[in-house]
Structure 1
Amino acid sequence: MDSTALHDLLERVRGWQPFDGCALLDDVAAVLDDVPPPEEDTAQLAERLSGHLARLVTIVVASEAEQDPIVAQLVVRARTLHADLLPCGRQAAIAHLRRLGWTANELHDRLTVIRCLKEAA
């Protein structure tokens, strides 16, 4: 490898964050609870859940888990939700957060079932 390629690799390693299943489950619990999260936390939760979905989709692609039809459907849903902006209005934003949460939870569960991920405690 030349120095440019090594530098690029180093920057990617420095920016890498490991998948944290416990953080995902905490965020899912926060948005799927009977009591909606506070309005001031909505944007931050949406951003974190979108990040969880992006990491899960990356895991799917890297492990070639998209061959599983359920995973393939969840990936389509995850990509669509990831691309959507947080809607205006409290009820619409909560509905969006819950869709993000359900999709992240279902994809995480399915990847655990097919042994692409270890179960988070």
Structure 2
Amino acid sequence: MIVRDPSVLNTVLKGLREWTPFDGRRALDDMAHAFDASAPDALLTAQLRGHLRRLAAIATSDQMFDLDEDTMRLVEAARELADGQMPADDDRFVGRLRRMAYVGSELLDRLAELRHLREPIPVDEVAACTFSPRFHASWSTPPAPPWPPPR
């Protein structure tokens, strides 16, 4: 299919420019903070909503795989929690925040089991993937250079 409409192409291009890979470590950190929360936190709520939406989208993005009933329940719960209103009462707010974290962590674990998620290589590890002594830090002695040949 060839798309020639400039507005469609601009929309796709904008989406590609704004896309970032899912950061499972950050999501787990935010979920851990939610379990420790004792007062309403608007920033943490927004972050958890983003994680839940992203996880639900990842779970349902691949039409090739049928999700089991438990996973679909988690996806529906994630969408409901991400789109729902937060209670005005502080205790109920914190309770809902913790429920968001629980559902997110369960869905994250389930997607990892189903291999719908793949953790990207951290940037600092990518920088180390060169033929440098740092890359070969596990060697007891550095390898001998191939040139010049021994005499």
Q: TM-score, normalised by structure 1?
A: 0.86
| More deviation, 12-21/61-70 | 61-70
Tell me the residue number matched to 2:72.
72
2:39–2:90 CA contact under 8 A, matched in 1: no
Alignment of 1:1-121 (within 5 A): 1-2=3-4, 3-33=6-36, 36-39=37-40, 42-64=41-63, 67-118=67-118
Q: 2: CA distance between counterparts of 1:17 and 1:87?
A: 30
Q: How big is the shift at 1:69?
A: 1.5
Q: 1: CA distance between counterparts of 2:8 and 2:50?
A: 26
Alignment length, in residue pairs? Answer: 117
Partner letter of residue 60 of structure 1?
A: A
Gaps of 5+ in 2: 121-151
Larger relative contact order (CA 8 Å, sep ≥ 6): 1
Q: 1: CA distance between counterparts of 2:9 and 2:90?
A: 46
Gaps of 5+ in 1: none
Q: Report the identity percentage.
A: 34
Partner letter of residue 56 of structure 2?
A: V
Secondary structure of the residue aligned to 1:67 is coil
Q: 1: CA distance between counterparts of 2:81 and 2:39?
A: 21
Q: How big is the shift at 1:66?
A: 5.3
Q: TM-score, normalised by structure 2?
A: 0.70
Higher alpha-carbon Rg: 2
Q: How big is the shift at 1:98?
A: 0.2
